[in-house]
Structure 1
């Protein structure tokens, strides 16, 4: 039995391989898909969001940058301008729903609509069940940013997408939603809710050429994992590699992007759930 670090390593390597094969089948480039379109990216001030904003800005998109920290957003905007892109800065605390609604309205007013929404901003929390009995607020705060904020943004931009008969919504989820994430229950539950919602929204909007893509992201070397010693030496994607997966989602617009090993784990979980529970428990006892 291998440990959690090697498991994460294998899943990350599987996604690398799958994305390489996906790119061989692609008929269009990112430039061809997003040039002249408006792309709204949350959590754009650092990490995956920043790398994604730079990639889409360089591809000719009009990029609406959303995050709490205005100074960092403006620094990203400067980088995009240097690449010849067209950035717009929208500082916003997405957990403040009044501010979120005002920001979304301003983006729609400024650009006439959003063609691509990338729900990247998120909160990860690592806390055991026995540490959570009197901390319901952890679940409330996590759902507020990871689920309710994306829902409000989708409700704001989807009507225009349906009217224009085009739209892509990319939701950044976690490999924990496929392989399990004991100790991260609030986080994985909030991400699972977003995927479950979009399974049904996709049915209602498919004839309008609006597509929802869930990216089950493996570990990415960002500030979010920096405090967890278990992951210090584990293989992880760079933010730029993660941005590449998001770009693939916008180009091909698949329903899901996920490592093959993660998909296989879901199948096993349906066939032998008790065995998978035993495996996850062993990982958890090793310190996950």
Structure 2
């Protein structure tokens, strides 16, 4: 159930999924899902529950994933829980060592783990770690994983799914420099690598998402009542992409945002700094 209100229903059209086609596509395959303990990763894992896939669930919160394993294995899927912080090189290396020992290797990688941060630059002047931590998880970790797994994916004619953001395709906005730079970096990396990957029979899908109702948006108060996608809906979009081999998903209305990013780039470059200055003055007088 998506539980959308009227506005959300208009913004996020349904993506009908044919479960029999998904099951045929993933039965017997090994699927790596990062960021699997909640939100999109969790719903995707449950979408696969009634298949015979082997799910490798990766996240920091092992207790939540073990609870998921208990529920999912009441159906037909097999689950392996691998607790790891992908910002930690040692954890990543241990995960890769485990994956390379799997019989049959890995067939599908869903790069879903992510870190969001909304902070003005002036509040990060002595917080360089705001950027290193965000880049570590949103860019370096998926690159490191894929560089190691490409031979396995090539062997299995595998599939890479990147859970990205619409911000990677739009004009950057203030306060999101760390997040947008890191997500755009991996999006660009994958799009650049995509022709090489396809030449090796590895499919790729980039999922460009607006707000999604996950724990990631909770710290930003302004987003709590904003229109947002259901993680169940996103899981269905990913499932559909796996059997349809769809290369890109983005909301129908994003094209208008992309046009606006081009047409209004110069006016916004003039207007936005003035609005920010006015906001700062108002805050200083409060």
CA distance, structure 1, for counterparts of residue 23 and residue 204 of structure 2: 20
1:234 aligns with 2:226: yes
Mean CA deviation greater in 139-148 or 83-92: 83-92
| SS of residue in 2 equivalent to 1:260 | coil
Per the alignment, residue 218 of structure 1 pairs with: 210
| SS of residue in 1 equivalent to 2:226 | coil
Structure 1 alignment gaps of length 5 or more: 1-8
TM-score (norm 1): 0.85
CA gap 1:123/1:27 in 2 versus in 1, 3 angstroms: closer
Choose which of 37, 48, 62 in structure 2 pairs with 1:45.
37
1:214-250 superposed Cα distances (whole Å, 9 cap, x missing partner): 1111111111111222122212222211211221222
| SS of residue in 2 equivalent to 1:89 | strand
CA distance, structure 1, for counterparts of residue 103 and residue 130 of structure 2: 36
The 8 Å contact of residues 38 and 114 in structure 1, kept in 2 or not, is answered as: yes
| SS of residue in 1 equivalent to 2:227 | coil
The 8 Å contact of residues 38 and 111 in structure 1, kept in 2 or not, is answered as: no
CA distance, structure 2, for counterparts of residue 39 and residue 140 of structure 1: 28
Per the alignment, residue 12 of structure 2 pairs with: 16
The 8 Å contact of residues 14 and 259 in structure 1, kept in 2 or not, is answered as: no
Q: How many aligned residue pairs are there?
A: 273
Per the alignment, residue 5 of structure 1 pairs with: none
1:97 aligns with 2:93: no
CA gap 1:189/1:75 in 2 versus in 1, 3 angstroms: same
**Superposition pairs for residues 1-288 of structure 1, below 5 Å?**
13=9, 16-17=12-13, 20=15, 23=16, 29-164=21-156, 166-179=157-170, 180-277=172-269
CA distance, structure 2, for counterparts of residue 85 and residue 280 of structure 1: 50
CA distance, structure 2, for counterparts of residue 209 and residue 282 of structure 1: 50
Structure 2 alignment gaps of length 5 or more: 1-5, 281-286
CA distance, structure 2, for counterparts of residue 283 and residue 92 of structure 1: 42
The 8 Å contact of residues 40 and 117 in structure 1, kept in 2 or not, is answered as: yes
| SS of residue in 1 equivalent to 2:229 | coil
CA gap 1:78/1:243 in 2 versus in 1, 3 angstroms: same
TM-score (norm 2): 0.86
| SS of residue in 1 equivalent to 2:125 | coil
| SS of residue in 2 equivalent to 1:237 | coil
| SS of residue in 2 equivalent to 1:45 | coil
Shift of 1:251: 2.2
CA distance, structure 2, for counterparts of residue 27 and residue 120 of structure 1: 21
| SS of residue in 2 equivalent to 1:235 | coil
CA gap 1:281/1:269 in 2 versus in 1, 3 angstroms: same
Q: Greater helix percent: which structure?
A: 1
Shift of 1:154: 0.5
The 8 Å contact of residues 153 and 202 in structure 2, kept in 1 or not, is answered as: yes
- Which has the higher Rg, Structure 1 or Structure 2? 2
Per the alignment, residue 283 of structure 2 pairs with: none
CA distance, structure 2, for counterparts of residue 176 and residue 205 of structure 1: 24
Shift of 1:38: 0.7
Shift of 1:268: 3.3
The 8 Å contact of residues 168 and 187 in structure 2, kept in 1 or not, is answered as: no
